[in-house]
Amino acid sequence: MVIHILTPANRAGGRRRLHSGIVHCATANREGEGGVKALVKYASGNGNVAVMEVDEPVCREDQVKVEVAFCGVCGTDLHVLHDTFRNYPPVIMGHEFAGAVVEVGSGVTGVAQGDRVTVLGASTVTCGECSYCRSGNFVFCAARRGMGHGVNGAFARYVVARKDQLFRLPEGFSLAEAALSEPFAAAVQAVAEVTKVRIGDTALISGPGPIGLLCLKLLAAEGVKTIVAGAAGDSARLEAARRIGAAATVCTSERNLLEAVREETGGAGVDVAFECAGHPDSVRGCIEALRPLGRYTQVAICGREIPFPIDGVILKQLTVAGSLCYTVRTWERVMRIFAQGKVRLDDLISAKLPLSEWEAAFGLCVEKKALKVLLYPEA
Ligand SMILES: [Zn+2]
Ligand SMILES: [Zn+2]
């Protein structure tokens, strides 16, 4: 397959043809058609990311073309930038987005131009036949390639997707909020499906990054008492946690987490703990904070081997689980949660910047100055 990218340098002189292993979403190659700007990882290695002019994607008969309104910057994008997450350049980055349908393939029914949608980009390429695909756990398919690193993503004006990847947004739910559907789906799986938090539980979220705060959103909406812990440098995010419904926040560089948890739980410890920081201190803090028979869920990726206090697991007979991404059913649940109107996500959006300011947007995320930053396409 071929992707055509027009770099600023060769714009006047014609198209540079780049070959890649991309198996889907190759961009158009009709000569004479105007290009659109996109944020492209154009080669392997650290960096090698730029806004480039690419051909508009062609909508196949089994596809729908979506005009992107907003696409969120995610930790995965930072890893693709630094080449610490597998990627297949040249590829358009970005996978957390929402927009409006502008073209419907001739073989697609039940979707109309103007439909406001968000897209499950992670399932763009799967084998469809392995036991994981057949059981809805496509995330574990060995052939999987998701948008933004494996196939072209949404830091661009247009994206093409299959109908089964689309989720129609409820009335009144903004496209900016809906751009957070993908990370929110990860939070929903962790909280509601893997950990199965019950009304009356007390929860600990350790790590107030976007996923931690999205877990908090859901727990607070259900009335679950939630303590949020962070480290030095997380003060803005802990403040946000208080604003969006944390019963208490703990900065662990200033206060002992276990003491704070005992105070909040009458000495009992928390029923459930979500490790959302990927840091050894946070892992230990969660195990210590749990009551006997409590449930521990690993939500963050640590990216390295870290010590794990395994005796805490046996001595308190804890249940330890991991939660990675989501299933299609999780996304259906997300749309029902949105439709019920109890969860709004606007207050997690710190900034909306044009695509050309992607470096500033990525920087805000690295410096933990922002909660979520969205990019929008430019003409
Ligand atoms: Zn993401
Ligand atoms: Zn498969």
Residues in Cβ contact with 44 at an 8 Å cutoff, skipping those fewer than 6 apart:
83, 87, 89
Q: Kindly give the distance from the C-alpha atom of residue 21 to the centroid of ligand 2, in angstroms, as a whole number.
A: 18
- pTM for the model stands at 0.91
Q: What is the structure's pLDDT at 35? A: 84
Query: Counting ligands in written order, which one lies closest to the CA of residue 211?
Result: 1
Q: Kindly give the distance from the C-alpha atom of residue 133 to the centroid of ligand 2, in angstroms, as a whole number.
A: 4
Residue 119 is inside which H or E element, if any? Answer: strand 116-119
Alpha helix locations (H) across 25-144?
75-82, 131-134
Query: Counting ligands in written order, which one lies closest to the CA of residue 142?
Result: 2
Query: Counting ligands in written order, which one lies closest to the CA of residue 131?
Result: 2
Q: Kindly give the distance from the C-alpha atom of residue 138 to the centroid of ligand 2, in angstroms, as a whole number.
A: 6
Query: Counting ligands in written order, which one lies closest to the CA of residue 139?
Result: 2
Q: What angle do CA 224, 230, 236 make, to 5 degrees?
A: 95
Distance set, CA 301 to CA 14, 97, 190, 319 (Å): 42, 22, 13, 18
- Beta strand 63-72 pairing with 372-376: antiparallel
Query: Counting ligands in written order, which one lies closest to the CA of residue 325?
Result: 1
Q: Kindly give the distance from the C-alpha atom of residue 368 to the centroid of ligand 2, in angstroms, as a whole number.
A: 36
Count of beta carbons in the 10 Å neighbourhood of residue 48:
16
Measured distance CA(207)–CA(195) in Å, rounded: 17
**What letters, b where the CB count within 10 A reaches 16 and e where it falls short, cover 277-316?**
bbbeebbbbbbbbbbeebbbbbbbeeeeeeeeeeebeeeb
Query: Counting ligands in written order, which one lies closest to the CA of residue 126?
Result: 2
Q: Helix or strand or coil: residue 189?
A: helix
Q: Are 28 and 53 in contact (CB under 8 A)?
A: no
Backbone angles phi, psi at 68, to 5 degrees: -70, 130
Find tokens 């999987």 and name the residue. Answer: 144
Q: Are 66 and 117 in contact (CB under 8 A)?
A: yes
Q: What is the structure's pLDDT at 33? A: 53
DSSP state of 191: I
Q: Kindly give the distance from the C-alpha atom of residue 74 to the centroid of ligand 1, in angstroms, as a whole number.
A: 5
Q: Kindly give the distance from the C-alpha atom of residue 146 to the centroid of ligand 1, in angstroms, as a whole number.
A: 11
Measured distance CA(313)–CA(320) in Å, rounded: 8
Q: What is the structure's pLDDT at 50? A: 97
Query: Counting ligands in written order, which one lies closest to the CA of residue 125?
Result: 2
Per-residue pLDDT of the chain (379 residues; tens, 9 = 90+): 334 443 333 333 333 323 333 333 334 334 445 689 999 999 999 999 999 999 999 999 999 999 999 999 999 999 999 999 999 999 999 999 999 999 999 999 999 999 999 999 999 999 999 999 999 999 999 999 999 999 999 999 999 999 999 999 999 899 999 999 999 999 999 999 999 999 999 999 999 999 999 999 999 999 999 999 999 999 999 999 999 999 999 999 999 999 999 999 999 999 999 999 999 999 999 999 999 999 999 999 998 999 999 999 999 999 999 999 999 999 999 999 999 998 999 999 999 999 999 999 999 998 888 899 999 998 7
Residues with CB under 5 A from ligand 2 (ion): 126-127, 130, 133, 141
Residue 67 is inside which H or E element, if any? Answer: strand 63-72
Measured distance CA(184)–CA(63) in Å, rounded: 25
Q: Kindly give the distance from the C-alpha atom of residue 325 to the centroid of ligand 1, in angstroms, as a whole number.
A: 9
Q: Kindly give the distance from the C-alpha atom of residue 124 to the centroid of ligand 1, in angstroms, as a whole number.
A: 15
Query: Counting ligands in written order, which one lies closest to the CA of residue 136?
Result: 2
Q: What is the structure's pLDDT at 34? A: 62
Q: What is the structure's pLDDT at 5? A: 46
